[in-house]
Copies of this chain bind each other. A is one copy, B any other.
């Protein structure tokens, strides 16, 4: 089966809770991670979220540097300082922390976006903007992937 796909927008309640979309919970259950792993994205106003599969990707990054080296320490602080492990309650909800609020600008609604091995947490309006841009970039990337020398776009 596949990973996190599609996107959903849910409401925050008065206690700052929001339902994680049921299809995403099913993927997390298969992954086996306890709770949720969250880390603020370094290049956009979103939070990466997932389980063991996401954690493995992050670890892979820091393994490129020797442990105890200054580079490794700096990266570790940057990565894990920007991370959280929110719990998921019995009804499949998580609490949006202040860190997530500050980094995303979320107020009363949350958009969850599937990205296969992880998903992202967005403020809905910011997501719409980012998505339009992402689609433009994706089109350019995919057409550039094919060995076509010129930048020309057919009709």
Residues of A in contact with B (beta carbons under 8 Å apart): 1-7, 23, 33-34, 37, 41-44, 48, 55, 57-59, 61-62, 64-65, 67-68, 70-71, 73-81, 83-85, 99, 113-117, 120, 130-131, 133-135, 137-139, 141-142, 145
Contact = CB atoms under 8 A, between A and B. Distances in A.
Given A2-B85, A43-B73, A78-B131, 10 more contacts: A5-B80, A7-B81, A41-B73, A57-B68, A62-B116, A74-B137, A75-B134, A75-B142, A77-B113, A78-B135
Contact of A117 (B41, B67, B84): B67
A70 B85 contact: no
Contacts of A131: 77-78, 81
A83 B5 contact: yes
B141 A5 contact: no
Contact of A77 (B34, B55, B81, B120): B120
B135 A42 contact: yes
A80 B34 contact: no
Given A41-B73, A44-B73, A81 B6 contact: yes
